[in-house]
């Protein structure tokens, strides 16, 4: 481990340069210098190793099989068909595990080796996509309600989110020098970092834009949320929410998931000022001694919500208006075709755990065919797009009506049509990456999800509940990358094959679940669910969701977020 603290590494990095160039050039190891392992995150990459073969390599006295994960910055998860084809080519050329859609509408490539890292970064940038600030103690990829062509307002919100994402990028040429061979000029390394300052933020920071009635970005899990309020189809402004976050550590009560609080309402042109005020307050007030307490949610709990709000208003230079009322119906995706306001059609496909490769079914090939088709048949005035959702699914957007059949046939012939028949439980489930690439995983998640769902479906069939839209989430550890604490049923990894069973979140992403059974194996999990499904089948009221039923009947005790809005 590096003897330098993350705070020291950030401050002495010459605006995120460190010795990355030297580390990358070192042919002796597949790894980076330890401090550079921290810095490369700000460039959108993580050093990892293949955990499936870690022990084997240790016994052979070899260094771990180091490889890099690269994450894109794609606000709202939008790419063109041309970009899709490039991402596909990059995945096929450099990455081991295909394309991976993340829970924040980005792409990840896994298994890129050090000597190919620069070529991969260059190829991503050549596709006009960057990876700057996709990771690190800065604002991350901005999540936005999917399907933005559904109404003009959706497009407006997406454009605001993309502008904000750009505005909040760190001010450094390091990215361009290291990856794109830009010449280093006088003054580089001392760029003015007006928003972040020399030490960047105390911890990662996340922003999400939701458009009621859908909460597909899980806005209450974001550090900063903007909830669009529409009046006669036009965005009148946004309710602002602050202090959401999922990460926790097993057995440490000082860490916990927290839902964001709604603190008021702003006009659309006040977004940048509010975002800067929240971020700079967190920059100055956040805990820089204890990283585990450094997220905004703890700053707010330590200082008090009202004090925090007043400081944000002071820095923004205006007061927030009373929040407007709004309602969410669910936090999942809507599958299948919908028609947008522009007359074009959008198809949401189910992608299991966001992984796209040609393993069991030719998904990568199928989407390649779809991208090629869209290039030929799309309307140039309203070009087709691929849009990732924050639930790891994929929208094929802006398809002319007379081409829907063509897309449907490609979907069917490449096994991409799960949305047509799968149970709601299967469609809505999400799982984080976990093993073999995640260095923090304690148990399987992505690789376990399909089998676990099959077993749960068997139980649901037994109780005639297959049609119930129960929201299931699996994370390989308590960091919560699949936002498990917002699952009606969630497994949070504890050890290989063992999980904490969490129950009782709401279907709208407005109530956290609670721990029901600790550190149990699959047989015990299924036995618990079997008993609870039996109770649910017999005792539910009309339309009652599973999570709500568990809370109403006292199986778990959990408090909903109060949407009684702060004046």
Beta-sheet strands, E only, within 217-344: 224-231, 234-242, 261-266, 336-339
Q: How far apart are CB 77 and ligand SRM at their closest, in Å? A: 9
Contact string 424-463 vs ligand SRM (x = CB under 6 A): --------xx---xxxx-----------------------
List 10, 140, 288, 355, catalytic entry: 140
Binding of ligand SRM by 131 (CB under 6 A): no
Which of ligand SF4, ligand SRM, none is residue 476 near (CB under 5 to 8 Å by kind)? ligand SF4
Backbone phi and psi for residue 329, each to the nearest 5 degrees, phi listed first? -95, -35
Interaction residues for ligand SF4, span 478-507 (CB under 6 A): 479-481
Residues 6+ apart with CB under 8 A from 122: 179, 180
Q: Phi/psi zone of residue 110: left (φ > 0), alpha (ψ -120 to 50 degrees), beta?
A: beta
Which of ligand SF4, ligand SRM, none is residue 141 near (CB under 5 to 8 Å by kind)? ligand SRM
Interaction residues for ligand SF4, span 504-543 (CB under 6 A): none
In the annotation, is 477 catalytic? yes
- Out of 17, 39, 46, 173, name the contact with ligand SRM by CB under 6 A: 46
In the annotation, is 404 catalytic? no
Q: Are 335 and 404 in contact (CB under 8 A)?
A: no
Nearer to ligand SF4, 304 or 439 (CB): 439
Interaction residues for ligand SRM, span 77-106 (CB under 6 A): 102-104, 106
Q: Smallest Cα–Cα separation from 384: which of 349, 345, 413?
A: 345
Q: Are 399 and 407 in contact (CB under 8 A)?
A: yes
Choose the binding region for ligand SF4 from 82-90, 264-272, 462-470, 473-481 (rule: CB under 6 A).
Answer: 473-481
**3-state secondary structure (DSSP) of residue 41:** helix
Contact string 295-314 vs ligand SRM (x = CB under 6 A): x-------------------
User: Per residue in 510-534, is it b (16+ CB within 10 Å) or e — as a string?
Assistant: bbbbbebeeebeeeebbebbeebbe
Q: Sign of torsion, CA 384 385 389 394?
A: positive
Cα separation, 273 vs 286, in Å, equals 19
Which of ligand SF4, ligand SRM, none is residue 475 near (CB under 5 to 8 Å by kind)? ligand SF4
**3-state secondary structure (DSSP) of residue 394:** strand
- The whole-angstrom distance between residue 386's C-alpha and the CA centroid of its chain comes to 17
Residue entry with tokens 């709401």:
506
Binding of ligand SF4 by 476 (CB under 6 A): yes
In the annotation, is 135 catalytic? no
Binding of ligand SF4 by 351 (CB under 6 A): no
Q: How far apart are CB 154 and ligand SF4 at their closest, in Å? A: 29
List 10, 15, 432, 511, catalytic entry: 432
Q: Sign of torsion, CA 289 306 210 500?
A: positive
Q: Smallest Cα–Cα separation from 274: which of 233, 323, 230, 211?
A: 323
Residue entry with tokens 């490369």:
40
Binding of ligand SRM by 471 (CB under 6 A): no
Nearer to ligand SRM, 23 or 437 (CB): 437
Q: Looking only at Cα atoms, what is the longest distance across the chain?
A: 73
Nearer to ligand SRM, 460 or 505 (CB): 505
By CB under 6 A, name the binding residues for ligand SRM: 46, 48, 69, 71, 102-104, 106, 108, 140-141, 204, 206, 221, 245-247, 295, 354, 432-433, 437-440, 479-483
By CB under 6 A, name the binding residues for ligand SF4: 432-434, 438, 440-441, 445, 475-477, 479-481
* Catalytic machinery residues: 71, 140, 204, 206, 432, 438, 477, 481
């Amino acid at each position: 481990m590096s003897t330098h603290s993350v705070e020291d590494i950030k401050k002495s990095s010459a605006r995120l340069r460190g010795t990355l160039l030297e580390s990358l050039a070192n042919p002796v190891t597949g790894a980076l210098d330890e401090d550079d392992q921290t810095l490369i995150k700000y460039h959108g990459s993580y050093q990892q190793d293949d955990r499936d073969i870690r022990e084997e390599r240790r016994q052979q006295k070899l260094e771990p099989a180091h490889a890099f994960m690269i994450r894109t910055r794609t606000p709202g998860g939008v790419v063109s068909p041309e970009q899709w084809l490039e991402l596909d080519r990059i995945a096929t050329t450099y990455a081991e595990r295909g394309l991976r859609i993340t829970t924040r509408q980005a792409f990840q490539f896994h298994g890129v080796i050090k000597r190919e890292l620069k070529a991969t970064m260059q190829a991503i940038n050549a596709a006009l996509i960057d990876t700057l600030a996709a990771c690190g103690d800065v604002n991350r990829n901005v999540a936005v309600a999917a399907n933005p062509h559904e109404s003009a307002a959706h497009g407006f919100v997406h454009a605001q989110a993309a502008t904000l994402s750009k505005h909040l990028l760190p001010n450094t040429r390091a990215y361009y020098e290291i990856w794109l061979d830009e010449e280093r000029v006088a003054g580089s390394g001392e760029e003015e970092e007006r928003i972040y300052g020399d030490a960047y933020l105390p911890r990662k920071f996340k922003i999400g834009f939701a458009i009621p009635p859908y909460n597909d970005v899980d806005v209450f899990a974001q550090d900063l949320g903007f909830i669009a309020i529409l009046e006669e189809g036009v965005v009148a402004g946004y309710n602002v929410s602050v202090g959401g976050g999922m990460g926790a550590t097993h057995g440490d009560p000082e860490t916990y998931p927290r839902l964001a609080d709604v603190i008021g309402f702003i006009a659309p042109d006040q977004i940048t000022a509010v975002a800067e005020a929240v971020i700079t307050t967190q920059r100055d007030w956040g805990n820089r001694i204890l990283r585990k307490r450094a997220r905004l949610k703890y700053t707010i709990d330590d200082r008090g919500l009202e004090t925090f709000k007043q400081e944000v208003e002071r820095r923004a230079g205006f007061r927030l208006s009373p929040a407007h009322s709004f309602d969410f119906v669910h936090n999942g995706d809507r599958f299948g075709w919908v028609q947008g306001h522009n007359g074009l059609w959008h198809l949401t496909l189910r992608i299991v755990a966001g992984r796209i490769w040609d393993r069991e079914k030719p998904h990568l090939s199928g989407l390649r065919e779809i991208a090629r088709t869209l290039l030929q048949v799309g309307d140039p005035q309203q070009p087709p797009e691929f849009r990732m959702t924050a639930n790891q699914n994929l929208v094929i957007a802006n398809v002319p009506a007379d081409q829907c059949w063509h897309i449907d046939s490609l979907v069917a012939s490449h096994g991409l049509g799960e949305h047509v028949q799968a149970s709601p439980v299967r469609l809505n489930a999400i799982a984080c990456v976990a093993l073999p690439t995640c260095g923090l995983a304690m148990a399987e998640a992505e690789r376990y999800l399909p089998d676990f769902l099959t077993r749960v479906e068997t139980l649901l069939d037994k109780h005639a509940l297959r049609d119930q839209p129960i929201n299931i989430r699996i994370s390989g550890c308590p960091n919560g990358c699949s936002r498990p604490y917002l699952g009606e049923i969630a497994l949070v990894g504890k050890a290989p094959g063992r999980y904490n069973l969490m129950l009782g979140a709401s279907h709208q992403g407005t109530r956290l679940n609670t721990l029901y059974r600790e550190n149990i194996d699959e047989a015990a999990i299924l036995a618990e669910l079997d008993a609870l499904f039996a109770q649910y089948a017999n005792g539910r009221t009309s339309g009652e969701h599973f999570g709500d039923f568990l809370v109403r009947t006292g199986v778990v005790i959990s408090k909903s977020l109060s949407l009684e809005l702060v004046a």
